[in-house]
Structure 1
Amino acid sequence: MPSESYVITIYSDRQKGLIQAVPEVLSQAHHSYCMRHLTANFYSEFKDVLLKRLFWRAARTLRESVFKDTMDQIKARNENAHKWISAIPKESWASFYFTGDRYDVITTNRSKLLNAFLKNARKLLIASLVEHTRWTRWKTSDFFQKRRVYGDEWRTQLTNYAEKHIRLAKEESLQYVAYRVGLHVFEVRSVQIQDSVNLHLQTCSCRVFQTIGLPCGHAMAAIAITKEKNLYSFCKPCYKVDRYRQTYDEVLYPTLDRT
């Protein structure tokens, strides 16, 4: 089985300072541009809803053929829009070319909750800013506590998100036919396409398996013919309920006033 990766991924809105600073300060990190910000800038430039949708499709797809076809559609509709997109390194926004781990997350939306805590504090005087920061610590502590309670309620081995993904992947796998072509390698066929799965490396040519860290429908079809009963061994540890609980186990203790 592949070892767990600890290389971090940085998400940003493509500020020039960050583009330069990330490789200098965090040379091993992967830098992902937020598609919400990219598409907002793109739409303000070209004002075309269809182009915007095609841009998102190019960003999300995990198949190179779909990426190239989508970019060709953008070029055919508006060559300047194609040039605008092509000027941005595709390794920083397109899921197929991104080499880090971002688990199909392509925006910074999840950080907006934390950013909102400090949004109104930027113009405060020092004393007020410190007090506001204490309030933010309380909100963060409350955030952890709610997730501790939430995690304690689960009676499954995987988080709700992962359990739902596995269930849907099982349903999807029924439309595929898998053949073992090696010790760990399988050919998985459907009416439209043929894919290759390596259960030892936990990869699939559709790239969902290695991108999300959970078996795709093709992988589930391959697992089915191995008679392997422990599906959870093919899921990244970050989806395990035990790992979730460990993440929020620490207590953020109050900062007491001086007496």
Structure 2
Amino acid sequence: MELLGGDLELGANSNFTFIYDRQKGIIPAVAKVFPNEEHRFCLRHIQENLKKQWKGKELSDLVWECGRATKLNHFKYAMDELKKMNDEAHAWLCKIPAETWSKSYFSGHTLIVCLNNLCEVFNAKIEEGRDKPIITCLEYIREYLMKRLCVVQKEIDKCQGELSTTATIILEEIKTQAAKYVAKYNGAGKYQVVSTWQDQYVITGFPSRHVVSAIWNKIENGEDAPNVEDWVHPCYKLSTWRAMYLNKIDPINGRSMSPKSDCPFTLAPPKHHTQVRRLKKKRMRGVDEPNSQTTKLSKKFLAVTCSKCHNKGHNSRTCKGQGGIGEVGSKGKTQGKGKTQEKGKTQGKGKGNLGNSIK
């Protein structure tokens, strides 16, 4: 943590926020090196740990509602509902400080996020190069970033408007919800926003549906009011997105073009110790998280077709000649319309009867 602080030029009094997955070694280390930092726990990891003991979609949804609550009253209401559903899970969750995982207790000096998705995405992208030597791994990351910047730049060039693509979609959803509210002005610069329901959800960095309704009311009354897009946090602006991808990564020559070192001695490689088993490359997945990395599709709920009789419901190993009309049955036998004739038996000529036929 001290080396990380030196690389990022962080001091003991810096206003950075650390978010991690409640590892026991990191918690005291961050508290010692950065005593004034804000500490947060990833809500996804909290949910995964809770599901190991208490499963259920309704219980998980209540945990997410507690974490996403932006008001203390909403947080307490969600916790009470959680207690009614499962008292033991509620007691387990209460042991974790709410200021580390619920938005209602966050200070607000940084963006209100409760997930470390940035770290998860980074680990997923370097999966193919993370087990390589350090130089090869860094070269893999450099090439990926070089291509990624080019791809995103093409998407930025297609965008129009003031906000980024995702921010525009979120703001349009807020506007749709704001149409269901009625703003009432009190004459002193304050508004009472009323709706048919009593819930309130605030999306971080965006004006809430209540603010949008109040802005529309000011515009209808002929008052000066900024555009709704002006209330969005600068990090969601298209100009910020364009500035982030403005700098590009230049291609470099290979090792054959590298200058020869003047070092008088040869650096020996470090001692290699072969592990007992193959090193794990993929991350550990949750209890009910689907394994999307598998290369084979599940055959569950699929009808099997027999290669002998071409009927569904069984395979060639369990086929007992249960084919349909006119289809090939078991070896050495053929099926006719309603009758089966054994091999070697022929029909009588001129008499129209079947010799030794079996119905």
What's the TM-score, normalizing by structure 2? 0.59
- Determine the structure 2 residue equivalent to 1:135: 140
- Determine the structure 1 residue equivalent to 2:90: 82
Identity %: 28
Q: Which moved more, 1:247-256 or 1:81-90?
A: 247-256
Cα RMSD (Å): 2.6
Count of paired positions? 237
Is the CA contact (8 Å cut-off) linking 2:16 and 2:38 kept in structure 1?
Answer: yes
Taking structure 1 as reference, are residues 80 and 134 closer, same or farther at Cα in structure 2, changes over 3 Å only? Answer: same
- Determine the structure 2 residue equivalent to 1:97: 105
Secondary structure, aligned partner of 1:11: strand
Taking structure 1 as reference, are residues 50 and 230 closer, same or farther at Cα in structure 2, changes over 3 Å only? Answer: closer
Is the CA contact (8 Å cut-off) linking 2:67 and 2:103 kept in structure 1?
Answer: yes
Q: Say whether 1:242 aligns with 2:250.
A: no
Query: CA–CA distance in 2 between the matches of 1:131 and 1:179?
Result: 62
Taking structure 1 as reference, are residues 11 and 146 closer, same or farther at Cα in structure 2, changes over 3 Å only? Answer: farther
- Determine the structure 1 residue equivalent to 2:301: none
Amino acid at match of 1:147: V
- Determine the structure 2 residue equivalent to 1:226: 218
Question: Which structure has more RCO (C-alpha within 8 Å, separation ≥ 6)?
Answer: 1
- Determine the structure 1 residue equivalent to 2:52: 44
Gaps of at least 5 residues in structure 2 are 1-13, 220-224, 260-359
Within the candidate set 30, 35, 59, 2:38 is matched to 30
Within the candidate set 106, 110, 116, 2:114 is matched to 106
- Determine the structure 1 residue equivalent to 2:160: 155
Taking structure 1 as reference, are residues 26 and 254 closer, same or farther at Cα in structure 2, changes over 3 Å only? Answer: farther
Q: Which has the higher helix share?
A: 1
Secondary structure, aligned partner of 2:104: coil
- Determine the structure 2 residue equivalent to 1:60: 68
Taking structure 1 as reference, are residues 255 and 185 closer, same or farther at Cα in structure 2, changes over 3 Å only? Answer: farther
Amino acid at match of 1:11: I
- Determine the structure 1 residue equivalent to 2:249: 252
Is the CA contact (8 Å cut-off) linking 1:58 and 1:94 kept in structure 2?
Answer: yes
Q: What do the CA deviations read for 1:64-101 (whole angstroms, capped 9, x no partner)?
A: 33322221222233322111100101111112212243
- Determine the structure 1 residue equivalent to 2:298: none
Query: CA–CA distance in 2 between the matches of 1:161 and 1:123?
Result: 33
Query: CA–CA distance in 2 between the matches of 1:54 and 1:9?
Result: 25
Query: CA–CA distance in 1 between the matches of 2:30 and 2:186?
Result: 42
Query: CA–CA distance in 2 between the matches of 1:117 and 1:229?
Result: 40
Amino acid at match of 2:88: N
Amino acid at match of 2:53: E
Query: CA–CA distance in 1 between the matches of 2:36 and 2:154?
Result: 35
Taking structure 1 as reference, are residues 252 and 25 closer, same or farther at Cα in structure 2, changes over 3 Å only? Answer: farther
Query: CA–CA distance in 2 between the matches of 1:152 and 1:8?
Result: 32
Q: What do the CA deviations read for 1:184-213 (whole angstroms, capped 9, x no partner)?
A: 43221123349xxxxxxxxxxx462xx512
Q: What do the CA deviations read for 1:108-144 (whole angstroms, capped 9, x no partner)?
A: 23432211244465555xxx22112211111122222
Query: CA–CA distance in 2 between the matches of 1:250 and 1:25?
Result: 32
Once the 2 structures are TM-superposed, how far is the Cα of residue 215 of structure 1 from its aligned partner? 1.4
Is the CA contact (8 Å cut-off) linking 1:39 and 1:52 kept in structure 2?
Answer: yes
Once the 2 structures are TM-superposed, how far is the Cα of residue 43 of structure 1 from its aligned partner? 0.7
